[in-house]
Amino acid sequence: MGSGGKCIEGGTAPRAVLLLLALVSVLSAEDIRFNRDIRPILSENCFFCHGQDPKHREAKLRLDIRAEALMEHDSGFAIVPGHPEKSEILKRLLSHDADDQMPPPESNRKVSPAQIELIRRWIAQGAPYEKHWSFVPPEKAPAPKLSDASLARQPFDRYVLAKLEAEKLLPSAEAKPTTWLRPAAHTGRDCGLRVRCLPARRSRLCRRGGPSALVTALRRTPRPGLARRRPLRRHPRLQ
């Protein structure tokens, strides 16, 4: 498999393993997807020697195309859908023999235990492949389900609230319009001036139309000084 790269050293390795194990636990409730979960691992560690470039391909094994990855080779089948224990790729990833281990030790690449577990589960699920993401039409993902959907006012709120629920956190109390009005009015040096130049009816706008009405009024408020700005004059010597 591929060459180059760096090893994880020191205290970073346990932390990275814990993060990947957490990723596996999150994905345990759903199917493994090739483009999202498996392709990055193979691209980083395997495709250099078992990819589309015939000059670097070894053992006549190509892992980026499913039909060729399922073919029998001298050492057996690299991938046996539904049978991780019979798949040579998994045996090589778990091997401690320098002659059989993949990626080879001299490549300075290492597939983590969490990544190996992802590959094992992917093979157990039938080893489905997907076209490269650039050739796949985008699909609208369903919004996450929430225990209390009343807190979501916009579609994007569902993703934020779902993350908070996963972390067992509660959302902060809703800020007053006057609190977030200044960041919303930020347009450069005149942000504070524009807020002060808003009509005195801003509290009434908030009560009637909500924050969106206040932002609309802010956008319609002219920037201070534009009407009084004098036209540029040429220097007398340049006339």
Residue 227 belongs to some domain of the structure:
no
Decide if pLDDT at 167 tops 60: yes
Rounded to an integer, the average pLDDT of 225-237 is: 53
Q: Return d(Cα 92, Cα 99) in angstroms, integer.
A: 10
Helices and strands in the chain: count of H runs, count of E runs: 10, 2
Residue 205 belongs to some domain of the structure:
yes
Residue whose C-alpha is closest to residue 111's, from 40, 205, 26, 217: 40
The reply to whether 74 and 150 lie within a common domain is: no
Ranges 10-14, 86-90, 207-211: which has the least confidence: 10-14
The reply to whether 41 and 129 lie within a common domain is: yes
Residue 3 belongs to some domain of the structure:
no
Rounded to an integer, the average pLDDT of 94-123 is: 91
The reply to whether 95 and 168 lie within a common domain is: no
The reply to whether 37 and 73 lie within a common domain is: yes
Q: Return d(Cα 152, Cα 162) in angstroms, integer.
A: 10
Q: Cα-flanking dihedrals φ and ψ of residue 76, to 5°?
A: 120, -155
How much is the mean pLDDT over the chain?
Answer: 76
186 vs 84, which has greater pLDDT? 84
Rounded to an integer, the average pLDDT of 225-235 is: 52
The reply to whether 32 and 89 lie within a common domain is: yes
How far does the chain reach from its first CA to its final CA, in angstroms? 73
The reply to whether 88 and 31 lie within a common domain is: yes
Residue 114 belongs to some domain of the structure:
yes
Question: Using an 8 Å Cβ cutoff, are 63 and 42 in contact?
Answer: yes
The reply to whether 65 and 109 lie within a common domain is: yes
The model's confidence at residue 75, banded by pLDDT at 50, 70 and 90, is confident
The model's confidence at residue 111, banded by pLDDT at 50, 70 and 90, is very high
The reply to whether 72 and 161 lie within a common domain is: no
The reply to whether 66 and 146 lie within a common domain is: no
**Which pLDDT value is given to residue 31?**
79
Residue 68 belongs to some domain of the structure:
yes
36-56 pLDDT, tens per residue?
Answer: 999 999 999 999 899 888 888
**Which pLDDT value is given to residue 132?**
87
Written as one string, the DSSP assignment of 107-127 is GT----HHHHHHHHHHHHTT-
Residue 230 belongs to some domain of the structure:
no
Write out the residue range of the structural domain in which residue 207 sits: 177-220
The reply to whether 57 and 31 lie within a common domain is: yes
Residue 226 belongs to some domain of the structure:
no
Residue 6 belongs to some domain of the structure:
no
Domain boundary among 109, 134, 159: 134
**Which pLDDT value is given to residue 29?**
46
Q: Return d(Cα 50, Cα 68) in angstroms, integer.
A: 10
191-207 pLDDT, tens per residue?
Answer: 444 444 455 555 555 55
Where residue 34 falls (left for φ over 0; alpha for ψ -120 to 50; beta otherwise) is alpha
The reply to whether 154 and 185 lie within a common domain is: no
The reply to whether 130 and 157 lie within a common domain is: no
Instruction: Report the number of distinct structural domains present in the chain.
Output: 3
The position carrying tokens 């346990």 is: 14
Model pTM greater than 0.75?
no
**Which pLDDT value is given to residue 34?**
93
